[in-house]
Amino acid sequence: MDATKDIDRELKEGRRERKRRQTRERIEQAAMELFLKRGFDRTTIEDITEAADVSKRSFFDYFPSKEEVVFAWQDLFADGLAAAVAARPIDEPIVKVVEEALTSTIIAALDRQSLAVADLIRETPVLCARNQLKYSKLEQKLTEALLARNTDDDNERLRIRLLSVVVIGVLRVGGERWHEEPRPESIEAFARDIFSQLWRVLADFGNDIQADPKAR
């Protein structure tokens, strides 16, 4: 009988979590449709709750502000990047892991709505300022994912930390170029070109240091 109660409790918890997930997704979808249609500043929380058919209290159960609705997808991107790193062959060179994982994550994340959201963020000052925080989260997530594949050696930890900082910095620059220049047809080709430039620039800097003893 105790086993039956445990099964019933697990089923109830499963339904409860599923319902919470569905409610959260409904709020996100309603909010994003309104933001893209009306603009962020002209959309109120009341507008969102009415469109999602939830109470204002329910909204705040999931999101502390309407800004957080916009940035909910960033957590998914970071999680996707960590999963992509973990999926790479264990003996693959670290730079190859980073390039392949980040490229595949970007390709998977870019759809029509995500591009529209990116434009919305760039055009809304309060969102543009908040958007910069995502890079710190991505650096931390990438570092943790890479360390999970490697070693506890302090020197290696430093190398991985520095690599994460550089790569996420390139992601920031690449995003700016993506919005400032005519968008290419192939996001993969664009990402590959950015990485190619990154590795070449790092090699050039290394050669400069080797050529100048005073720089050591």
Domain ranges of the chain: 2-63, 71-215
pLDDT at 194: 87
Query: At the top level of CATH, which class does the domain 2-63 belong to?
Result: mainly alpha
SS3 171: helix
pLDDT at 213: 58
Q: What is the CA radius of gyration of the chain?
A: 22
Which pLDDT tens digits describe the chain residue by residue (216 residues)? 465 655 555 555 578 888 888 999 999 999 999 999 999 999 999 999 999 999 999 999 999 999 999 888 777 888 999 999 999 998 899 999 999 999 999 888 877 777 788 888 888 988 887 888 888 889 999 999 999 987 667 778 888 999 999 999 988 888 888 777 766 678 888 888 888 888 888 887 777 666 665 655
- Same CATH fold, 71-215 and 2-63? no
Tell me the C-alpha distance between 172 and 133, whole Å: 11
Place of tokens 């968008």: 183
pLDDT at 30: 94
Q: In the 8-state DSSP scheme, what is residue 152?
A: -
Mind spelling out the 3-state secondary structure of 117-148?
A: HHHHHHHCHHHHHHHCHHHHHHHHHHHHHHHC
pLDDT at 183: 67
The CATH number fitting domain 71-215, selected from 3.90.1150.10, 3.40.50.720, 1.10.260.40, 1.10.357.10:
1.10.357.10
